[in-house]
Structure 1
Amino acid sequence: MHEVIAAPPPVRDLQALVRHPAADLEQLREQARAAQQSAVGLPCAPGRIVRIEACPGAGKTRAIIHRHLNHPLGPRQGRAVVSFTRAASAEIARRCVEEGRPELADYPHFVGTFDSFLWTHVVRPHITSPAGQKWRRLESWDDHPMARNSGISLGDFHFQRDDPGGVRVVAPRWKKVPYALKSDADRQRYFLHWAETQMAALWREGFIAGEQLRDVSFRMLGQPERGMRIASMLASRFGEIVIDESQDLSSEDHSILAQLAARNVPLLTVGDPDQSIYGFRETSTDAEPHAMAMPAADLRLRHNWRSTQIICDLARTLRPSGEAADVAVGDHRDDAGPVLLVGLAKDGMRPALRKFEAEADRLEIREPAQRMVLAYKHATLAAAQANLKEDPPSAQLDALVWATAVLRDPGAQGKRREKAERVFSECVRHHWLGDMDVPEREHLDRHDISALEFRLVTQFVLNSLPDLHLPAGEWSRTAVQVMREHLFEKLGRFSTARALPCPKEKKSKAAVLLASKGRKPGERTDGLRSNTIHGVKGEQFEAVLVLVPPAEKSVEERQRTDIFMESWTSGQCVEPTDRAAEAMRVHYVAATRARRLLAFAVDQQYVPRLAAHLRANHVPVSEL
């Protein structure tokens, strides 16, 4: 048995600490700092996975950085710091630079995503290639133009293994049938056939992405001789491998780490099980077991530097695990602002937005980027505000307008911005270079253009494109003229100078309407930002409004909302596999993004019971 290090005082006394007066704040902070220091110095011994659990706002990224800066390793060894998004990895690398230690992001260290780590250090150095083939990793299948067809991507399908121990590249099935295809069985079959054919072709060419990368990693590590060779190289290169946001590990990821730990690769994971909101990543339906039981944490960080104590108390009511409330130790610990409950009626969600804005104004939270509206789905946000369409339209002009609007929006973040960058890149490359049949890197290499050179060109074009409120027909002509002049000026080449097609009935309307959904842009609330809850994981905002609207169009959606609200207001612990567990965790993530102001907009029928439940849990509530 290994000893569990708990941030003093023990977890059973946390509720007592929650009620400490402001005079004891410095004592609480000393305890929080001591717990963080324990995370910096926690030994990482080979042979098992060392685990740190950290609540929201616990400063785990700061602790990881301090560990990277100050925790010594063996001679000529590096440390791998692995996360699950490029943004998180970039943040860690940026912190190294800010601390005056940029070398900590370079060899012999590694800072990057879990996928890039598997590719760079497990698969690529040890995989064999048939004659004439070159293996190439994609961030996702969306990155290859031949893996997309009429808005459908290979990423929209789960695939089965080509043999019992093989790779998921055959027999596709829909993850979720697109709404437009639900009543069209013929089109569904067409895309299933296309997916099977196209995956086979790209796999033969050597392209590999998420599921397939994990399958190859698992298979290679399972081979006695090759697996031992991979583990030996990892252990000699890295004194330890730190996995940040470990709650996002899939069962396949856990199995890969278990194989490494069994071969004495030193591993340390840092995460919060209550923030595990990516259940949709679990794709394996095979008989072979992937899941592994989670041992007790070696260290728990339970002090929250982000939110008020009231927000911490509310967050506890959303934890499926039923764990005690975290202890607020930040600057806003003793703010007494209640949680707002806004009842939704037949007049829609606009009144809820106005009430949220009024309260943010009262608290002098005026920066739009700090006033965040969150929902489980983009469809809910579209009903609340006149946002741009979440996904790029299929028409070329509409897609370029959409990408330009997203990239010019300072509030655009995460996956949405990544999509916009891809769409914009492809449009520029189509006009500049033509022949759109390979991923970006190969396309640029084919024409002897460096990635940096292309980034500078695309940024220059983006800054030079006309205002999106110009009539769509004029905007199309002007945009292509801008690209023709700038791209030809840069490298003396241009593939096509034709304006992008614009339907006659849309030519006189503002170009931005080609990419908008819902109300006209002038009716939009400009004092707020919005995103899905999944899209802001890891971030924080001064004020957060969580939309939990009634589902009026779908019985399934209505049942999901009813089950979630029943689970929340009952106060009973929810099993991790229960249908309501994911919804509880998702809304727990939403609530813990807030620093000072937290509001929930729910159907009016739920307000009285929810208010009573929160007050019974020492959470002050204001019903609006």
Structure 2
Amino acid sequence: MSQVDNAVPTPEQRAVIEHEGSCFVEACPGAGKTRVMVERARGLLRDRGAGGAIAFLSFTNAAVSELESRLQRARVLPTPAFPHFVGTFDGFVWQFLIAPFGVPDCAEAPRLIPDLGKLTVGWGRKYPLKCFCPVSGNVIPHIAKQEKVEVDKVAPAVRTQAKNKWRRLFDAGKLDFAAVRRLAVALINEREMAPRLGAALAARFGEIIVDEAQDCNPEDLEIVRWLRRSGIRTTVICDPDQAIYGFRGGVGRELRAFAKEFPGTARLPMTGNFRSSRAICCAVAAFRPGETAPDKPLGKHRELRSPVYILGYSGRSVPRDIGRLFRKLIEGHGLDPARCPVLATGWNAASRAVGAPTPKKRGYLVVKVASAVSRFHGAVDGHERRKAFEAFHEALIGPWLEDGQTYRHYLTDKAITPECWRADMLPLIQDLRFDPGSGETVSTWLERARSALASVLPDNKTPAQHLAKISELEACLCTPESTALTARSIHSVKGEEFPAACLVIGTSWAKKALDFLEKGSSENTAEEVRKLYVGVSRPEQLLMIAVPNSQKERLCGRLSAFGADYVEL
């Protein structure tokens, strides 16, 4: 249970809980927004005059799961939740705006296939389809940059091919999330249909609560705006400094402009951090652009005097010594290493810090299988275990894919649901645990894997051909040196909290990030800085930051300027 669950609401929290009508809430990290959403819902449902069901929307399954658990624990919602809705924004749009109406001029039932963008186009050099606008075929610059695609080197014929491929998928009713958004926006702008649909939704829902609204893209905001115009009370909760989903078109300036559409009395702050110690609150402020004051620590760790620990490292790559030192540090503070992750903007950097393998030959099936098995058995929380389990299944489906298919495309075409495959795959991944303690070698494990997986692989090759032995296999099967430490990407811990965390700042971003924080230069760096901000705001009691030696002094200076006590390791 959260430390704020039994606390008396602060005046700011109570203002949100009791506010009548729509409101826009800007909340700092650790402000207790989940508790506030639960209590607001309790009040709305207790007040029969409020009317209607409540829809709770967020942007990740982890956030939705946590919110649903809290609502049920507090006995605010029944199980199942109907007529209420608790789910992702994507799920809401699909269920209420797309699935009932289908794709215009398409006889096929709409099918949601999230990874269509992984399909490729081009001859010789292949380009991910997601790099191209489905309407014009033009290259989308920010996605092309992420995929290391040089815009001016993409031939016009490839752009035409991409446009045509998107069109064929759309005509077959196959949609990714971006296509779903375009259809939804078109629907809510229809002169005749939109008012009727809005009235129908308003008849069911008395309020829609949009959590983590900084993760909205412009189309999402347009949909939220339309729901509000349709007469549904709308509570929007966000922290613009945690906007880290630029890859899906996340908004920044648009969100600030959207806030101004609410009257001044409906724009409510939630300050005060119930999660973290004073030093961590100061460090969080140091990673916010500008000169904003640190949030006041209000929770049970407010009197904790533990400093922020700063570790400088040398070289061009993240060293595994980081994990060893972090584990020693947290054990010295009596904390459980299994609950204290190492975080980085990318999973590879975090993995290197804990001594986990980061294979270069990731395209090999044997590498995918071995890596997934190792991650599954080394996971210390359900989130990481589920991700590894799905990666294992995706690896085994890979040889079955036809040209022009993705993993989720294949599952959709074959009507394979998670319930269909999990029961069959679980014994396989459990039995494939590498056990060197019993005398097992890489070679004997590989023979065991070939035998166990022979029945689930296509017979166009022998098991030995599918699972060829390569030099990197041993590294993939090795247990990380810093046993019980988990490597997590910052994206994967959004909305979570931990007793302690180590934030690894990579060599390629450290200088750019500090330049941005100090001077506001290079808007292209803004999202990377916001990721670091999310990372430093996760821990409750202890924060360690690993930074290249070249930027260590600058980081210490910034922490000091914001009043953060720190110790150099």
TM-score by length of 2: 0.82
Q: Which residue of 2 aligns with 1:593?
A: 538
Offset at 1:430?
7.4
Q: Which residue of 2 aligns with 1:125?
A: 100
Matching residue's letter, 2:176: A
Q: Look up the SS of the partner of 1:107 in the other structure.
A: coil
Does structure 1 retain, via aligned residues, the 8 Å contact 2:510–2:548? no
Q: Which residue of 2 aligns with 1:222?
A: 189
Of 263, 280, 293, 2:230 maps to 263
Change (3 A) 1:130 1:610: closer
Would you say 1:64 and 2:37 are equivalent positions?
yes
Change (3 A) 1:370 1:418: closer
Change (3 A) 1:371 1:107: closer
Query: Per-residue CA shift, 1:304-341, capped at 9, x if unaligned?
Result: 11100121122122222543321212221111111122
What is the rounded CA distance, in whole Å, between the counterparts of 2:28 and 2:255 in structure 1?
Answer: 26
What is the rounded CA distance, in whole Å, between the counterparts of 2:101 and 2:198 in structure 1?
Answer: 11
What is the rounded CA distance, in whole Å, between the counterparts of 1:449 and 1:535 in structure 2?
Answer: 25
What is the rounded CA distance, in whole Å, between the counterparts of 1:235 and 1:95 in structure 2?
Answer: 25
Q: Which residue of 1 aligns with 2:493?
A: 536
Higher deviation after alignment, 347-356 or 80-89: 347-356
Of 83, 90, 95, 2:65 maps to 90
Q: Which residue of 2 aligns with 1:281?
A: 248
Q: Look up the SS of the partner of 1:538 in the other structure.
A: coil
What is the rounded CA distance, in whole Å, between the counterparts of 1:351 and 1:55 in structure 2?
Answer: 33
Q: Which residue of 2 aligns with 1:161?
A: 135
Does structure 2 retain, via aligned residues, the 8 Å contact 1:337–1:597? yes
Q: Look up the SS of the partner of 2:465 in the other structure.
A: coil
Alignment of 1:41-190 (within 5 A): 41-45=18-22, 50-72=23-45, 77-100=52-75, 103=78, 105-130=80-105, 132-141=107-116, 154=128, 156-162=130-136, 170-173=137-140, 175-176=143-144
Does structure 1 retain, via aligned residues, the 8 Å contact 2:498–2:539? yes
Offset at 1:597?
1.2
Of 285, 294, 312, 2:259 maps to 294
Higher deviation after alignment, 433-442 or 473-482: 433-442
Would you say 1:622 and 2:567 are equivalent positions?
yes
Change (3 A) 1:404 1:232: same
Change (3 A) 1:146 1:182: closer
Does structure 2 retain, via aligned residues, the 8 Å contact 1:444–1:451? no
What is the rounded CA distance, in whole Å, between the counterparts of 2:361 and 2:235 in structure 1?
Answer: 39
Does structure 2 retain, via aligned residues, the 8 Å contact 1:254–1:292? no
Matching residue's letter, 1:424: F
What is the rounded CA distance, in whole Å, between the counterparts of 2:90 and 2:163 in structure 1?
Answer: 23
What is the rounded CA distance, in whole Å, between the counterparts of 1:410 and 1:619 in structure 2?
Answer: 32
Residue segments in structure 2 that go unaligned for 5+ positions in a row: none
Change (3 A) 1:259 1:352: same
Change (3 A) 1:397 1:452: same
Offset at 1:245?
0.6
Change (3 A) 1:111 1:76: same
Would you say 1:317 and 2:286 are equivalent positions?
yes
What is the rounded CA distance, in whole Å, between the counterparts of 2:391 and 2:207 in structure 1?
Answer: 38
Of 353, 363, 369, 2:333 maps to 363
Q: Which residue of 1 aligns with 2:511?
A: 562
TM-score by length of 1: 0.76
Would you say 1:241 and 2:213 are equivalent positions?
no
Offset at 1:523?
6.5
What is the rounded CA distance, in whole Å, between the counterparts of 2:539 and 2:454 in structure 1?
Answer: 46
Query: Per-residue CA shift, 1:446-491, capped at 9, x if unaligned?
Result: 8787753432222233223352765555445433533567x8xxxx
What is the rounded CA distance, in whole Å, between the counterparts of 2:122 and 2:454 in structure 1?
Answer: 27
Matching residue's letter, 1:462: I
What is the rounded CA distance, in whole Å, between the counterparts of 2:493 and 2:369 in structure 1?
Answer: 25
Alignment of 1:458-473 (within 5 A): 458-467=425-434, 471=441
Alignment of 1:412-491 (within 5 A): 420-426=388-394, 451-467=418-434, 471=441, 474-483=444-453
Q: Look up the SS of the partner of 1:311 in the other structure.
A: helix
Change (3 A) 1:449 1:535: closer
Does structure 2 retain, via aligned residues, the 8 Å contact 1:40–1:71? no
Alignment of 1:510-549 (within 5 A): 511=473, 513=475, 515=476, 521=478, 524-549=481-506
Change (3 A) 1:153 1:531: farther
Offset at 1:593?
0.7
Percent identity reads: 23
What is the rounded CA distance, in whole Å, between the counterparts of 2:123 and 2:442 in structure 1?
Answer: 25
Does structure 2 retain, via aligned residues, the 8 Å contact 1:68–1:104? no
Change (3 A) 1:495 1:444: farther
Change (3 A) 1:171 1:438: same
What is the rounded CA distance, in whole Å, between the counterparts of 2:122 and 2:320 in structure 1?
Answer: 36
Offset at 1:81?
0.3
What is the rounded CA distance, in whole Å, between the counterparts of 2:276 and 2:299 in structure 1?
Answer: 7
Matching residue's letter, 2:549: Q
Change (3 A) 1:546 1:472: same
Query: Per-residue CA shift, 1:129-150, capped at 9, x if unaligned?
Result: 54642211123337x8899999
Does structure 2 retain, via aligned residues, the 8 Å contact 1:400–1:424? yes
Q: Look up the SS of the partner of 2:144 in the other structure.
A: coil
Offset at 1:55?
1.4
Does structure 2 retain, via aligned residues, the 8 Å contact 1:396–1:501? no
Does structure 2 retain, via aligned residues, the 8 Å contact 1:93–1:105? no
RMSD: 4.2
Offset at 1:80?
0.6
Does structure 2 retain, via aligned residues, the 8 Å contact 1:172–1:196? no
Does structure 2 retain, via aligned residues, the 8 Å contact 1:473–1:502? no
Alignment of 1:319-334 (within 5 A): 319-320=288-289, 322-334=291-303
Offset at 1:522?
5.8
Offset at 1:180?
8.5
Change (3 A) 1:459 1:588: same
Offset at 1:75?
8.2
Offset at 1:512?
5.1
Would you say 1:499 and 2:463 are equivalent positions?
yes
Offset at 1:265?
2.9
Change (3 A) 1:419 1:307: closer
Matching residue's letter, 1:176: A
Does structure 1 retain, via aligned residues, the 8 Å contact 2:337–2:485? yes
Does structure 2 retain, via aligned residues, the 8 Å contact 1:371–1:529? yes
Change (3 A) 1:183 1:220: closer
Query: Per-residue CA shift, 1:533-571, capped at 9, x if unaligned?
Result: 2221111122222222433xxxxxxxx532322344x4x
Does structure 2 retain, via aligned residues, the 8 Å contact 1:405–1:468? no
Change (3 A) 1:512 1:230: farther
What is the rounded CA distance, in whole Å, between the counterparts of 1:173 and 1:530 in structure 2?
Answer: 31
